[in-house]
Amino acid sequence: MSTAAVPATKRGVKAGKPVKSQRTKAEARLGWMLAGPAFVVMLAVTAYPIAQATFDSLFSYRLTTPDEREFIFLDNYLLLFSDWTFWRAFLVTLLITLVTVAIELVLGFALALVMHRALKALRGALRTAILVPYAIITVVSAFAWYFMFDINSGFVNNWFSWVPGISADLDWFGNTWTALSIIMAAEIWKTTPFIALLLLAGLAQVPGELVEAAKVDGATRSQQFTRVIIPNMKAAIMVAVLFRALDAFRIFDSVFVMTGGDQNTEVLALLAYRQSISRLEIGLGSAVSVVLFACVLLMCFIAVKLFKVDLASGTDQSQAKAKKGGAEQ
Partner 1 sequence: MNPKTKSRLGWTVVTVLVLGYSLFPVAAIFATSFKTPGDLGNQTFLPTSWTWQNYEMIFVGDAQGLFLSALRNSIGIALIATFIAVVLATLCAYAIARLDFPGKRIILGAALAVSIFPVISVVTPLFNLWRTIGLYDTWPGLIIPYLSLTLPISIWTLSAFFRQIPWDLEQAAQVDGATQWQAFRKAIVPLAAPGVFTTAILAFFIAWNDFVYGISLTSTEAARPVPAALAFFTGASQFEEPTGAISAAAIVVTIPVVVLVLLFQRRIVSGLTQGAVKG
Partner 2 sequence: MKRNWSRAAAAAAAATMVLTACGGEDDVPVLTWYINPDDGGQQALAQQCTDEAEGAYRIQTSLLPNDAPAQREQLARRLAAGDSSLDIMSIDPPFIPELAEPGFLAPVPEDVAERTTEDTLEGALAGAMWNDELVTVPFWANTQILWYRESVAEAAGLDFSEPVTWDDLIEAARDQGKYLSIQGIRAESMTVWVNSLMESQGESILVDPSAGAEELETNLESEAGQRTAEIISTIGSEQLAGPGVASLDENQSMLMFQRDNGSFMVNWPFVWPATNAAAEEGSVDADLPDDIGWAEYPRVDPDIPAAPPLGGINLGVGAESEHPELAFEAIECIVRPENQTEYFLTNGNPPSSASAFDDPAIEEDFPMAETIRDALDHAAPRPQTPYYNEISESIQLNFTPVSGVDAERTPANTAQYILDVLRGERLL
Is the distance from CB of 11 to CB of 23 less than 8 angstroms? no
Nearer to partner 1, 122 or 302 (CB): 122
User: DSSP string of 98-113?
Assistant: HHHHHHHHHHHHHHHH
173 belongs to the binding site for partner 2 (CB under 8 A): yes
Closest-CA residue to 104 (of 181, 188, 198, 180) = 188
275 touches 281 (CB < 8 A): yes
Which of 56, 104, 150, 253 binds partner 2 (CB under 8 A)? It is 150
Work out which of 22, 64, 152, 222 binds partner 1, going by CB under 8 A: 152
Extract long-range pairs of 51-56: CB within 8 Å, 24+ residues apart. Answer: 53/286, 53/289, 53/290, 53/293, 54/286, 54/290, 56/282, 56/283, 56/286
The one among 13, 79, 311, 320 contacting partner 2 by CB under 8 A: 79
Query: Measured from the CB of residue 169, what is the shortest distance to partner 2 in angstroms?
Result: 3
Pick one of partner 1, partner 2, none as the site partner of residue 169 (Cβ within 5 to 8 A by kind). partner 2
3 state SS of 243: helix
Angle at 299 between CA 298 and CA 305, to 5 degrees: 85
Are 298 and 291 spatial neighbours (Cβ–Cβ below 8 Å)? no
Residue 166 found at the interface with partner 2 (CB under 8 A): no
**Residue 314 touches partner 1, criterion: CB under 8 A:** yes
- The answer to whether 15 contacts partner 2 (rule: CB under 8 A) is no
DSSP, res 73: T
Q: Give yes or no for residue 105 binding partner 2 (CB under 8 A).
A: no
Residue (9 or 65) nearer to partner 2, CB: 65
- Judged by CB under 8 A, which of 79, 118, 206, 320 binds partner 1? 118
Which residues within the stretch 244-283 sit at the binding site for partner 2 (CB under 8 A)? 262-263, 271, 274-275, 277-280
How many binding residues for partner 2 (CB under 8 A)?
32
Strand partners, 71: 59
| 189 CA to centre of own chain | 14
Closer CB to partner 2, residue 85 or residue 158? 85
Subset of 247-306 contacting partner 1 (CB under 8 A):
247, 249-250, 252-253, 256-257, 269, 272-273, 276-277, 282, 285-286, 289-290, 292-293, 296, 300
Among 85, 158, 161, 226, binds partner 2 (CB under 8 A): 85
Listed in sequence order, the DSSP H helices in 206-250 are 208-216, 221-223, 230-232, 234-249
Query: Residue 59 carries which DSSP code?
Result: E
Q: Tell me if 46 contacts partner 1 by CB under 8 A.
A: yes
- Coil, helix or strand for 27? helix
The CB-of-199 to partner 1 minimum distance in angstroms stands at: 9
Altogether, the residues listed in the chain come to a count of 329
Beta bridge partner(s), residue 325: none
CB of 45 to partner 2, least distance (A): 20
| Contact call for residue 310 and partner 1 (CB under 8 A) | no
State yes or no: residue 170 binds partner 1 (CB under 8 A). no
Binding site for partner 2 (CB under 8 A): 60, 63-67, 75, 79-80, 83, 85-86, 150-152, 168-171, 173-175, 262-263, 271, 274-275, 277-280, 284
